[in-house]
Structure 1
Amino acid sequence: MKKRLVVLTGAGISAESGLKTFRGADGLWEGYNIMDVATPEAWSKDPVLVQQFYNERRAQVLKAEPNDAHRQLVALEEYFDVHIITQNIDDLHERAGSTKITHLHGVITYGQSSKDSNLIYKLNTNEIKMGQLCELGSQLRPHVVWFGEPVPMIENAATICEQADVFMVVGTSLAVYPAAGLIDFVPSEVSKYIIDPIIPPVRNYKNLIKVEASATDGIEKIFKELIADA
């Protein structure tokens, strides 16, 4: 039986595909204040603006291509039972070929009901139009978890982390909770790799290996070491 490799990915892995990271140094995302486009209050106040913002992001995602970091995670499936937990709302892991992916914050290529978040629809265009309704008659909104909303997949993700034989964090500042707390569910004896150009501040976890590098370079650096541990 293959060992379970659990990988928590963040915006840094998608940045190498040309997608802007969620948290810029100026607190803006693509020139927008996050609170104006990524909260339930923003949707209530100006749904047209929010819809336009995510339509633009969706178009960017659909133009982007998976990069070598995504592909290296796919290659690791030959040696490990790889489970990816991603904070990203793009579908680049899927398009690269990874088979077990948990999206914590939704997937932008889907829409969801404004009335019932369990009603989710695959989109076949890059935009959701105002007036485009779910089966309950409510406006479709992006299938994205906004600030102030529950993260429905977090318990499932925590269970996956509890069962990790190897754990890797790639391209995340570990600043957004509850996702940032998933490392606390990983057994203490498990090797924990953190890959990022700027290693985020973390507690002094046992068996912690810090790799200061981009997602692609970092995974490449430890690829042989990982395989040796498979």
Structure 2
Amino acid sequence: MPDSQTKTAIITGASRGLGAALAFAFAKQGFDLCLIARSADELQQLQQQISSTFSVKVSLYPYDLSDLTGITALVERIYSEHPSIDLLINNAGFGHYKPMNEHSPSEIINMVNVNLTAPMLLTREVVTIMSKQNKGHVINIGSDLAQKPLANMTPYVATKHGLQGFSDSLLREVKGQGIKVTIINTGVIATYFHNDQPSDHAPDTSLDPKQVADLIVQVYQTPSLQVVDQITLHPINQEF
């Protein structure tokens, strides 16, 4: 790492898929990690894997982000245990592939909470900390469906449109405080997503989560007076 001071990254949805790949990628860069996901068991397995390879601090915060009531306390706890927060990656998210009228009200509410409202609330708390530090980076994991909507994923697409607008507006608010904001709009990733089932997409029509994570590391490493506001990345053979 270019700085001698250890940096700290918060990663949501960290227990599997892109989130786990991001945890490994930033551990390789020497970051201490604050990992948030629903499954304590999966987080502990990931912690063991990372700690056996890298000499970084890996702190676990099992939490269901569909519950918005505890997010402020969650960030307060993280900050009390880490002297700075340098990076927040809002990665947690899910979607269902089915017609709009087959989504139950509770499914829609939970999807909006996890995919959009929780990232906004987490960012609200973290940006307050970053503004005192005069530095920081918020990276939101969006979707290329925010730019090319797909039928039968209407609530999910709506949340990713919202995340795009949130990222664009927030950057204009906080860049004068040394805080960067980036949204990564990805296509299909070979990872868990729909109903927590593994992706069945062939390798040539899905992204490798490790490669996506390595790209996000490069985005973070952009020089301090430059910002990558968004990247759209999808497999060359993706048909939608």
More strand by share: 1
TM-score, normalised relative to structure 2: 0.43
Structure with more contact order per residue of length (Cα contacts < 8 Å, sep ≥ 6): 1
More helix by share: 2
